[in-house]
Amino acid sequence: MTLLVLAAGMGSRYGGLKQIDPFTEDGEFIIDFSVYDAIQAGFDRVVFIIKEANYDDFRETIGARLEGKIKVEYAFQTMDYLVPADKLPAERVKPWGTTQAILCAEEVLRGDSFAVINADDFYGRDGYMKAAEFIRKAEKAEENMYAMIGYHLGNTLSDSGSVARGVCVTEDGYLKEIVERTKIYKVAEGGQFEDENGALVTVPPETVVSMNFWCFTSSIFEGAKAEFKKFLDDPDREPLKSECFLPNVVGQLKQQGYCTVEVIPTTAVWHGVTYSEDKPAVVAKINEYIETGVYPKGLWK
């Protein structure tokens, strides 16, 4: 089984390349804990989707200490992958989003089933255990079975600013609808965002949201390519800023009957560093996990 790690983001809100920012006195990053948990769950390969310009930094830090513990490979998200020349503005500097990111890894994955995570999110071990269990089941099925590890919105908000979350509607344990909201703010009642009409919408804290922790078989690529093409052909998108978000694509494929999407709740607590101000709280929580024996001191020693 493969863990696919989305790490090509520019990290503009955080103020640096947060994926290789140490969070322990032993110099470990958030992604170290993610890979460690994935290994415990039975994953035997990790593929990092990165910018080619960041390859040396990743290879010399994260990759170097993981080699020997798990098979490590890389895929590069490029501006022109699956993007026709007439759809690629010369002024665009932002990648095309998480859908294009996973598509850039298709050849490296070589037909393997996989779980997808963000490099800068601390998901907790329970999520990886449940992801591995689901993938083993989905590989034996004849239909296109996917899954999302679901978190409560109230456990995923930042005190420092807005976050992007896929807000979900579920029915009998399966995804009914998902909408990516790019700017959700923490309020006393839970979360709040501005809808397409400019109205403020409050979302209860127990609402299930996507943290981009997905489980896919290789059939996702055919459907995702078709949806990415629709995105590029959309005359209303902003040429320099619009992104094709994976949660929206999965929701569209589900609506078309292309797949089923099981929503798997997890008892794990999410921790994240959307902003640099978030880091001290995450560092303190990781140290608490180490002190209580959830993780050993020095993961790879």
Residue 204 one-letter amino acid: P
Tell me the domains of the chain and their CATH numbers.
2-291 (3.90.550.10)
Nearest Cα neighbor of 62 from 16, 28, 11, 107 is: 28
Residue 91: half-sphere exposure toward Cβ, Cα within 13 Å = 4
- Mark the ranges of the chain whose per-residue pLDDT is less than 50: 10-16
| Residue pLDDT, tens place only, 152-169 | 999 899 888 999 898 999
Q: State the pLDDT at residue 84.
A: 95
Residues 185, 163: Cα–Cα separation, whole Å:
7
Residues 107, 21: Cα–Cα separation, whole Å:
29
| Residue pLDDT, tens place only, 63-90 | 888 988 999 999 999 999 999 999 999 9
Nearest Cα neighbor of 252 from 230, 278, 279 is: 230
* Mean pLDDT over the full length of the chain: 91
